[in-house]
Each structure stands twice: as C-alpha cells, then as structure tokens.
Amino acid sequence: MAKKSKKVRIGVIGTGGIANGAHLPGYSLIPDDCEIYAICDIDPVALKRTQEKYNAKHTFEDYRKLLELDEIDGVSVCTPNYVHFQPTIDALKAGKHVLCEKPIAMNAKQGEEMVKTARKAGKFLQIGYNSRFAPTNQAIKRFIDAGEIGEVYYARAQSLRQRGIPGWGVFIDKEKQGGGPLIDIGVHVLDLTLWMMGHPKPVAASGVTYQKFGKRDDIVGFMGQWDHTKFTVEDFASALIRFENGASIVLESSFVANLKQEEHNVTLLGTEGGAECYPPSITQERHRSLFSFEPKVPNSNINTHHAEMKAFVECIRDNKEPLVTGEHGLMVAKIMDAIYKSSDEGREVTIE
C-alpha cells in the first residue's frame, strides 16, 4: 500500500478580500492535501473572524512570527500591492515557497529582487494570475502551442469596466496600489496574452493614461461609491507593446468608460488562424471559406482561484515548477513600468 503524502502546511499573510474570497476557500476545499496552519493580519478583528471560519492552528498580527514556524511549507501573500515585496522576500529567506497575489510588486525593481531571492533560496515563487487556470484558456493554449494558428503576430487584450471603481480597499491610492485599472485588472489580460504568445521578449511600450472620472462626485459606482477626493490613480489606460520577434499587443483597461458593454477578452491573430478567449473560439480558413468554432471543455466552469491554490499545493508536494512563475510576473511588471513611464513622458519607452 502506497504511503500517504503528508499534508502541505500553508500560512496566509493578510486576511482581507482576496484571502477570504479566493486563497482560504481554495485551500479549505482540499483538506486531504493541505492544512491552513497559520494566518496573519494587522487587524485583530479581521484575524479573529477569519480564524473562527477556517480554524487555523496559529494566528499572528506580525507576519514575521508566522514565518518562524518551521512546519509551514508554503505561504500565500494576500496583502495590498505595496506590501507584496517584504513579506515575500522574508518568506523565501525563511525557506517557504510563496504564492504572491498579482501584481508581483509595485514595480519591476522590487519584482527583480523577489525573483533573485527565490532562486537563491531554492524555493519557487508563484504569482496570482489565475486566468491561466481556466480549462478553456488552457485548451486555446494547447491549440496555439500545436502551431494550429501559425505565427501569432498581433494580440488585443481588453479589460474594460463601465463603472467599476472599487469602493473599498486601496484601489484608488497610487502610493499603495501603484496605479489604477492597468495594474489591477489590465495585468490579468496582459499575463494571459503573454502566456498564449509564449512570452516573447518585450522591447518597448508606448502608453497613455487618463483620469477623467475618478475625481468627480457625479459619477455612479457599480462596485460601491469611492471617495472621489482621494482618487489618485488613472481610470483608463491603453498601450502598444512591441516584441523582439516583431509581434505586438494592444492593451486597454478601464475602471470607468462610457461603453455600451464591458469588455474582458484576449484576441490573438495568427498567420494560420485566430483565437479569442472569452468566449473561447478559433477561426481558420478552410477550403477557401472562413470557419469559427468554439471548443467545449470538461469542467469549464471551475473556480480558477481554487484551481490556482490546488496547483500551488501540488507544486510544493511534487516539487515542480508553477504554471505562473516569478519570472512571468516580472515580465508583466517591466511592461507596466514602461507603460506608466511612457504616459508620464509622452514617448515610447524601451524595456530592458
């Protein structure tokens, strides 16, 4: 009889929205594989509420105390963007594998340090881009990797809300978030697009950002009403990203835009066909006619966050590389830095 593998012990730093909405539920659904061993939050009320819900063995208000527990194998960093860097660095140095929520950090300089630390520690760093775990996206990826749409030379990545400024958290605070829709939801479709394209090397970006609605008090909020006096991020951004192989991506992201309908999609154009992710479809020319078809995939309605947590646990247990690596998160951060700099300076910016 095969020996049963020991449970992976998980520590969670931050018990806010993403922890309670994604990470903790995901881990709790696989109790045979992992244990929510310790949780941490600077807010004692939130910490107690979460502990009662998930029955974690240990609770801390200082994450460094959590990292002193030798029993912990992996850590979820579920803090706001400006608190991704240090807990991740410290967790890696403490010998823990890390799943850090997206984006990897506030900027590429921090991301670079996180990636280097993971390599030096011999631990893996996974970044929370959960869109890759959708079975339909994985089906499209297999199709592309098989060469069936040829050379992917152009892509359009869109994450456009009509009235979607979050009315909670630090999403409107540039000092703590790093930016607005571009760094919050734009990074998701950008990461998905880069993955679909095989992560070609980015060489330059030209971007523009706008702040047309966030500071106004006459704009309705579909995601709660934000404090317009504290709004310091963009509410719309677009960019053209160029790659060493000649390919390009156009990226659009908004919290607020006067659109007939919201858009969340990735479109890929190849020499032998095209693909879209939401809803999934492939378009090809056959026998001098153009055909489009939609793949039907088992379990297509799974919760991608839960799949992401399951994958993190499996990577720890089986000692395998994550689907979304720290290096992938760093590439997104480098592109983000270039887009924001391009908007500030009004010129195309080279990506090193």
CATH architecture of 8-131+305-324: 3-Layer(aba) Sandwich (3.40)
State yes or no: cis peptide before 279, omega within 30 of 0.
yes
Which helix (DSSP H) or strand (DSSP E) does residue 309 occupy? helix 304-318
Q: What 3-state class would DSSP assign to 240?
A: strand
pLDDT single digits (tens) 156-170: 999 999 999 999 999
Residues of the chain with CATH 3.40.50.720: 8-131+305-324
Helices (H) and strands (E) in the chain, counts: 12, 15
Using CA atoms, how far apart are residues 161 and 165, in angstroms rounded to an integer? Answer: 8
Could you tell me where in the chain the CATH 3.30.360.10 domains are found?
132-300+333-350
Per-residue pLDDT at 3 exceeds 70: no
Tens of pLDDT, residues 207-252: 999 999 999 999 999 999 999 999 999 999 999 999 999 999 999 9
Residues 6+ apart with CB under 8 A from 164: 181, 222, 223, 254, 255, 256, 262
Q: Quote the CA–CA distance of 52 and 34 in Å, as a whole number.
A: 18
Alpha carbon of 60 to those of 16, 25, 73, 159: distances in Å? 14, 19, 17, 36
User: Is 132-300+333-350 a CATH 3.30.360.10 domain?
Assistant: yes
Q: How confident is the model at residue 4 (pLDDT cuts 50, 70, 90)?
A: low
DSSP secondary structure string for all residues of 262-295: -EEEEEEEESS-EEEETTEEEEEEETTEEEEE--
Q: What is the pLDDT of residue 6?
A: 87
